[in-house]
Amino acid sequence: MDIHQQIADLQAAVTRLEGEAARLETELNQIERELDEFAARYDRLVTPAHAKLEAARAAIEDLERRRYLERIANLPPEDEPARPLGFTPVADQYRRVWEDPRPIEPPPPSGDRPRESALPGDPETRLKRLYRALARRYHPDLATGPADRDYRNKLMMLINEAYAGRDLDTLQLLAEQPEGVNPDEPAAALRLRRLRLTHDDLARRIENMQAERARLVHSDLMRLKTEDKLARQRGRDLLREMAAELEAEYQQAMIVLQKLRRG
């Protein structure tokens, strides 16, 4: 297939992918915004009640453990009996309830590095070596006439653009072109290569956004949000009901805790 036809076909594919990426990005932003709003309402209504209940349960567990140890106080302190089945230390309960999840470490900065190439040696050295070789071959000062100068100017524009972008692969492609080649040919090859890179980057981005969308749609938070929406359609407020149930459990837990403290 002619290279210019390849460029046209690939450009059309890139345009389609750009539209799909823009649509997915808009959809993701909408989903995230709705989930953030619902999470804020959950934190306002349900989280405080849940925290109170967990604190009361932790206090009950601590007192029950102390009562258990008191009943077997005849054992030496260093021979503390094995924990009963299902027992979880209060410290572990506290960490589960109160501590934040481990933060995600950001990726290291990429810096301003030349793109990788199949050429051997240090990337910076290869970049400079190729640029100097091409400049010696195509510099306009070496022109033998106006037509040759125009030809060399066009190629030096491509060479300088690739060097400024620290693009080893592009410089290598230009170095592989025979002398006297039409500047449009390496320019078309560069255009095709860049379109392929853009196409592949868009395809990966779309795949990542689709995976993120699936994760959000099937998350526990989305499930709860959907249940809340259905409850509202029936005139109920699911989150307030959850907070009320947790408050009732908290009151019952406080009764148990008071009995333990008296006993």
Measuring CA to CA, which residue among 192, 165, 170 is closest to residue 14?
Answer: 192
- Both tokens of 253, joined, read 């837990």
Within this chain, do residues 70 and 158 fall inside the same structural domain, yes or no?
A: no
Strand, coil or helix: what is 218?
A: coil
* Statement to judge: residues 14 and 91 lie in one domain: yes
Question: Is there a contact between 127 and 163 (Cβ–Cβ < 8 Å)?
Answer: yes
For residues 44 and 173, state if they share a domain.
no
Q: What digits encode the pLDDT tens for the residues 148-165? A: 888 888 888 888 888 888
Tens of pLDDT, residue by residue over 118-130, are 445 677 888 899 9
Q: Are residues 130 and 159 in the same domain?
A: yes
Helix 168-176 / helix 184-217 crossing angle, nearest 10 deg: 150
What is the number of structural domains in the chain?
Answer: 2
Same domain, 11 and 39: yes
pLDDT at 197 over 80: yes
Long-range contacts of the stretch 62-67 (C-beta < 8 A, 24+): 62/90, 63/257, 63/260, 63/261, 64/260, 65/90, 67/260, 67/263
Domain presence at residue 107: no
Question: Which distant-in-sequence residues (6+ apart) come within 8 Å of 164 by Cβ?
Answer: none
CB neighbours of residue 259 within 10 Å: 11
In a domain, 210, yes or no: no
Residue carrying the six token digits 């099937």? 218
Per-residue pLDDT band at 83 (split at 50, 70, 90)? low
